[in-house]
Amino acid sequence: MSDAAEAPTGQGHSEAGDLVARWDAFRQREAFPAIAAIAFVILFPLVFTNLPAYNGYMSLVELIYIWAIFAIGFNLLLGYTGLLSFGHAAFWGAGAYAAGLFSVAISGDPLIMVVVAAVTAIVLAVFLGVLSLRRGGIYFAILTLAFGQMMYYIALGPLGAITGGEDGFTGVSVDPLFGVLEMGAEFAGVLGVLLHDVGYVMFASFFVLAIVGAVRIVRSPYGTIFRAIAENEQRVEFLGLHVWRYKLAAFVLSAAFAGVAAGLHTVHARYVAIASLYWITSGDIVIMAVLGGTSSVFGPILGALAFLYVENIVSGEIAFWLLILGVLFVTVVWLFPSGLWGLVSAMRTAVRRRLLEGRP
């Protein structure tokens, strides 16, 4: 789990070694995650939509950002605190429906919709967290699964009149951002190439915010305490820390991310499917986080990217895409716990070593 700088092993008199040291120092600065994220949201769509084959499209890029936000938050709970929830669809679905209903009942302002979704998820998380966190390990997993399913069936049946039941919630009405900016309004010229349209800027901004936020949380006392809880919960309690409250905090924080993502999704899709509360959705987010790599903030982003790419693009060619993902998933759990991001990190380390030990 290295967010810390790796000390250069070379003599340092080589230019390459010097460069690596300066890069490391730059990486440790506060602004780095934000800068890197912004660079990513500018460059990624350009690359992604222009691949020689099986290229993506803008709507998929936005979807990736949305799910990545969900996955990053989920990983605060799984990767950092060590708690596996199989019911996070509850927050995703509740947030999505809340945003949708809000848009019809009160206001379709996208920003407020996202806030409503996040608040809904947070409140629900406090409630469910108090109930689910009484026990750990397997019971927590089953309890969260049970609550998620409960909400699914409640939304499907008794509350079907409000939620639209099996058909989902149509009729989401999205107003222009701040009342003036149409979500689909494209930018002209260079701005258009880099930032595309208003909607994209909104989704990308939340994505950057989510990354900055998650990095901040991980670099705060919470990050260290979460990891300590995952490794030796009892010891943390005996150092005077209220473990249960920190677990609840992790749970609520992860739900907040899910809520934000859900609100964005409702804005993006203009529709809420009943499946958003189903265990399959909970399973999907688990796969994304684990596949991407649970040991860092950025792993889940890769996981979301890989999953959605395969689901939307590769599935056109290969029908058994979920089978492939399943095999990859099992392989990661078994042999490569640091996931896809771990592979990226390993490559990065190899490159550094070449630079440091290479020709001076």
Partner 1 sequence: MSLLATTIGFLIQTLAVASIYILVAIGLSITLGTLKFVNFAHAAVYLAGIYIGLAVALELPFSGDIGRSIGLGEVGLGLGFLAALAVIPIISFGLGLLMERFIARPFYDRPDTDQILVTFGVLLIVQEVIRGLVGGRSMTFTRPEWAQGAVGLGPLGTFARWRLAIIAITAVLVFVVYLYIEYTDVGLAVRAGTEDAEMVNLLGVRVTRPFLLIFGVGSGLAGAAGVVSGPVFSVVPEVGIGVLVPAFLVVVVGGVGSLVGSVVGGLLIGAVEVGLQMGAPTWASVGIYALAAVVIMLRPAGLFGVVEVDK
Partner 2 sequence: MTILEINELTKRFGNLTAVDDLSLRIERGESLSIIGPNGAGKSTTVNLITGLLQPSAGEVLFQGEDITGARPHEIVQRGLSRSFQTASIFPELTVEQNAVVAALGAEHGSFSLNFLRRLVGYDAVADRARRTLEDMGLDEQRDLEAQSLPYGDKRRLEMALALTSEPDLLFLDEPTAGMSPDETETTVTLIERIKRDRDVTIVLIEHDMEIVFRISDRIAVLSQGAKIADGTPAEIQDDPTVQKAYLGGIEI
For residues 110 and 265, the answer to whether their CB atoms sit within 8 Å is no
- The item of partner 1, partner 2, none sharing an interface with residue 357, based on CB under 5 to 8 Å by kind, is none
Angle at 103 between CA 177 and CA 70, to 5 degrees: 80
Angle at 132 between CA 71 and CA 79, to 5 degrees: 30
- The item of partner 2, partner 1, none sharing an interface with residue 353, based on CB under 5 to 8 Å by kind, is none
Tell me the backbone φ, ψ of residue 181, rounded to 5 degrees: -90, 110
Residue 146, token pair as written in the block: 């049970």
Binding mask 20-59 for partner 2 (x = CB under 8 A): ----------x-----------------------------
For residues 272 and 172, the answer to whether their CB atoms sit within 8 Å is yes
Residue 30 Cβ vs partner 2, minimum distance, rounded to whole Å: 8
Residue 130 Cβ vs partner 1, minimum distance, rounded to whole Å: 10
Looking at 245, 320, 327, 347, which residue binds partner 2 (CB under 8 A)?
245
- The item of partner 2, partner 1, none sharing an interface with residue 330, based on CB under 5 to 8 Å by kind, is partner 1
Residue 72 Cβ vs partner 1, minimum distance, rounded to whole Å: 18
Q: Secondary structure of the chain: what % helix, strand, coil (to 5)?
A: 75, 0, 25
Residue 228 Cβ vs partner 2, minimum distance, rounded to whole Å: 5
Residue count, binding to partner 2 (CB under 8 A):
29
- The item of partner 1, partner 2, none sharing an interface with residue 84, based on CB under 5 to 8 Å by kind, is partner 1
For residues 107 and 336, the answer to whether their CB atoms sit within 8 Å is no
Residues numbered 169 to 228 that lie near partner 2 (CB under 8 A) are 216-217, 219-225, 227-228
For partner 2, the closer of residues 219 and 270 by Cβ is 219
Residue 231, token pair as written in the block: 């490794």
Residue 303 Cβ vs partner 1, minimum distance, rounded to whole Å: 13
CB atoms within 10 A of CB 170: 11
Residue 61, token pair as written in the block: 């890029």
For partner 2, the closer of residues 100 and 342 by Cβ is 342
Q: Give me the residues that bind partner 1 (CB under 8 A), please.
A: 78, 82-84, 86, 131, 134-139, 141-143, 145-147, 149-150, 153-154, 156-158, 160, 233, 279, 283, 286, 290, 319-320, 322-323, 326-327, 329-330, 333-334
324-342 as b/e, with b when 16 or more CB fall inside 10 Å?
A: ebeebbeebeeeeebbbbb
For partner 1, the closer of residues 264 and 304 by Cβ is 304
- The item of partner 1, partner 2, none sharing an interface with residue 232, based on CB under 5 to 8 Å by kind, is partner 2
- The item of partner 1, partner 2, none sharing an interface with residue 246, based on CB under 5 to 8 Å by kind, is partner 2
Residue 48 Cβ vs partner 2, minimum distance, rounded to whole Å: 32
- The item of partner 2, partner 1, none sharing an interface with residue 192, based on CB under 5 to 8 Å by kind, is none
Q: Which residues contact 56 (CB under 8 A, 6 or more apart)?
A: 48, 49, 309, 312, 313
229-254 as b/e, with b when 16 or more CB fall inside 10 Å?
A: bbeebeebeeeebebeebbbbbbbbb
For partner 1, the closer of residues 78 and 250 by Cβ is 78
**In residues, how long is the chain?**
360
For residues 284 and 96, the answer to whether their CB atoms sit within 8 Å is no
For residues 177 and 198, the answer to whether their CB atoms sit within 8 Å is yes
Looking at 242, 330, 349, 360, which residue binds partner 2 (CB under 8 A)?
242
Positions that interact with partner 2 (CB under 8 A):
1, 30, 216-217, 219-225, 227-228, 231-232, 234-243, 245-246, 249, 253
